[in-house]
Amino acid sequence: MKKVVVYGGLLALLLGAFLAIQLGHAPYPSVHSNSVERSSSPTTVTGSHATASFISPKLVAKPDDTHSSDNKRVPFRLDNRVRDKFELFIAEHSEKAPLTVKLAFVKSSLLTYTEETHDYAVGLFARYVDYKVALADENVEIDTVNFSLQDIRIKLDERVDIRLQFFSQNEYDYLFGQDEHTDNEALSRLAIAQDDTLSRAQKKDAIIESLEVASDRDAFKPTIDIHKIKKIKQQYKDNNSRFSAISAEFGDEVAQRFVELWSEQEGWEKKIEGYRLYLAQLNNNDVSKEAHHELLREYEEQHFTSNELKRVKVLVSRKDPL
């Protein structure tokens, strides 16, 4: 379908929050489905687009086997999976004009939904297409880099207003309710990221805590887990204690992997520090330039591989912290 764009708020908001402090689809809640009865033009729809968007199935010739497949058709149900089904159908017809997409859905739905619910399914899909076209024409893109928190709230409210021009409140809840919930959670995290009274560490901890109880927490589980492991490393100074703490939370395999990694890091840090000490001692000794060069070369060959030596020279020359 041409010129159809949806600007979602959740991903941009989350990205903005994490970038601000330099650190989907959310799972749907359990909602009981509603069976929708026949309605050629749902009276619950508000806004001027509702009637115009409806396409009568009479405008599309029914396939010859429609009646023979009645036993295969199911009632159209308004539930929290409808939007995904609509988006999938639109994606499969992405190069077609909106009207062509609507007509294609009519043909498809004749073989999918029962006669009692077919008209409503067609009408709802037509309004959803019109909504996407309207959304693409409106300036509701959210810029978390240049927008203030209040600006983002205003844009989200504008998007809600556009949606309610095409859908009833009940339809809105099923189609966009989860989006609204996760957007509000993301706004809360963005507010934390923009709170000047908090330190960077406090912001990070507060955002991680909010992710642990968020409706979309499964999507951020890797981030949450890594944060927990870093906290354990900070809390315990020896690897045995770290292993026990990580093992209790994530199992022995994960604990062993991180302890080995930290042991390697500590070994590398000791090698860097040893190199710095040797270089300082060598610089303080009264030796010729040639002897200095030869002694340093021997030390480097004894303690480092060629690739390690490249890293060492960069670190030492920049005096980077370990």
pTM passes above 0.85: no
Encoded tokens for 55: 């396409």
- 113, β-bridge pairs: 74
- Mean of all residue pLDDT scores within the chain: 76
Residue 173: the pLDDT is: 92
Reported as a single tens digit per residue, the pLDDT across 182-222 is: 788 878 888 888 788 888 888 888 878 777 777 666 777 78
Distance CA 157, CA 268 (A): 53
Evaluate if residue 322 carries a pLDDT over 50.
Answer: no
Give tens-digit pLDDT for 158-182: 889 999 999 999 999 999 988 888 7
Question: Which residues is 35 bridged to in the sheet?
Answer: 77
Give the pLDDT confidence score for residue 124 in this predicted structure: 96
What confidence score (pLDDT) does residue 14 get?
Answer: 44
Is the confidence at residue 259, as pLDDT, over 60? yes
Top-confidence range, 10-19, 68-77, 176-185? 176-185
CB atoms within 10 A of CB 82: 20
pLDDT in the model for residue 143: 62
